[in-house]
Structure 1
């Protein structure tokens, strides 16, 4: 009776503690070793079915517990026809990364080395975009910077002419005309800068009257008072001091306009608009200061120019007078020599 197949199967399913003493130890199955929350290889490595480590009777019982839905899925896969895919067979189809899928190509991502620079450039463009600025205000504002640019470029050119005329050669005008034109540009540049600075301060009065961003009272009125006070005081200063003061005035008013924009006192585009115009005017003032710094030492200042022009004249005139004096000295020396020979 013990030799029958059913009896041998039943006896084989009973574990013998004396024959296998190591079976009493708890041993983690291969499936559980790779299914923890820290094991990322669980879904990538081939695994044995859950009934593989069970004994025959236990496996038979586990198979009987399969639901009807699972049976349908198994039947579907059982009768599924596998289609040939020869296009996937390549020289490298049998060699793939450990963490990659079988018979699939790993996409290669190209790294854009200029991505950071492009992002920064795009940020700058978006920050200083003038698309929201009204076209009339944009064009009129740029046109208002042209007199500053013209006087700055003229100052640099006249300084170059004076330096080269003093060395003995010029390009278009002589030294005297260059100095006179330079002193004519000084009040034009300072007066125009004072007018523009006063105008920018008066804009806040108009915004206050219109009630843009609410009525702020004396705080906004003060901006329109301090700006012209600083601007017109530069008319009494020497040229270099006036240019520096106006530069500080434009930069300070830009800071005030920026804070006002952030608080909603002005349109949202006003801060960027003011930055562009302030940059052009500030660069023009710096160019004018650089040009005036290259002037020779004999060029008169704004205080003594009338006296110097009346008494001394230009360097050419001084050189002509010196040549006349030397010729007179030589003539006197020759006359005295002739008298000595006659004696």
Structure 2
């Protein structure tokens, strides 16, 4: 097995494992005792903000690894997820979750743009598509629970 294949498998495994808090907190928001439901919703939103910020870091790291056209723009855009995620935690939790959901959709749009996908292997984009789809669905499930 080549190093590339091994790295891909580790990335897929870690990416899928990263969905556990989204799915778990989303389920707890519906089926846990009421006091735990509140904790689950807040935990969900905090984890969502952390992961959204992480996605910006992916682009920051990519821009620093390889010199290519558009790196300045990529560095600037890499800061946007954090600048969306942090204020989202300061809002009412329902509005904050809508903001985080929009952030995931926006960063996915950039990821799949010509500039955003530059330098990433094809398998990474497939992984991002799957992870983003599940994260968006989990946000909608929690928002539905909140009546939003």
Q: Please, what TM-score do these two structures have when normalized by structure 2?
A: 0.87
- The CA distance in 1 between the partners of 2:17 and 2:31, in whole Å, is 22
Kindly report which structure 2 residues correspond to 1:1-343, keeping only aligned pairs within 5 A, or say none: 134-158=8-32, 178-211=33-66, 214-260=68-114, 264-293=118-147
Give structure 1 regions of 4+ aligned residues with deviation exceeding 6 angstroms: none
Pairwise CA RMSD of aligned residues?
2.1
CA displacement, residues 55-97 of structure 1 (integer Å, 9 cap, x when unaligned): xxxxxxxxxxxxxxxxxxxxxxxxxxxxxxxxxxxxxxxxxxx
Shift of residue 262, structure 1, vs aligned partner: 7.1
Shift of residue 230, structure 1, vs aligned partner: 0.1
- The CA distance in 1 between the partners of 2:136 and 2:64, in whole Å, is 29
The question of whether the paired residues in 2 share the 8 Å contact of 1:260 and 1:266 is answered with no
Shift of the 205–249 alpha-carbon distance from structure 1 to 2, 3 Å rule, reads same
- The CA distance in 2 between the partners of 1:263 and 1:146, in whole Å, is 26
- The CA distance in 2 between the partners of 1:262 and 1:271, in whole Å, is 10
Structure 1: 5+ residue runs without aligned partners?
1-130, 159-177, 295-343
- The CA distance in 2 between the partners of 1:153 and 1:278, in whole Å, is 18
Shift of residue 215, structure 1, vs aligned partner: 5.0
Shift of residue 220, structure 1, vs aligned partner: 0.7
Q: Please, what TM-score do these two structures have when normalized by structure 1?
A: 0.39
| Partner-residue secondary structure (3-state), 1:134 | helix
User: Which one has more relative contact order, counting CA pairs under 8 Å at least 6 apart?
Assistant: 2
- The CA distance in 2 between the partners of 1:150 and 1:287, in whole Å, is 12
Whose helix proportion is higher, 1 or 2? Answer: 2
CA displacement, residues 287-330 of structure 1 (integer Å, 9 cap, x when unaligned): 11122229xxxxxxxxxxxxxxxxxxxxxxxxxxxxxxxxxxxx
Shift of the 285–248 alpha-carbon distance from structure 1 to 2, 3 Å rule, reads same
- The CA distance in 1 between the partners of 2:114 and 2:82, in whole Å, is 18
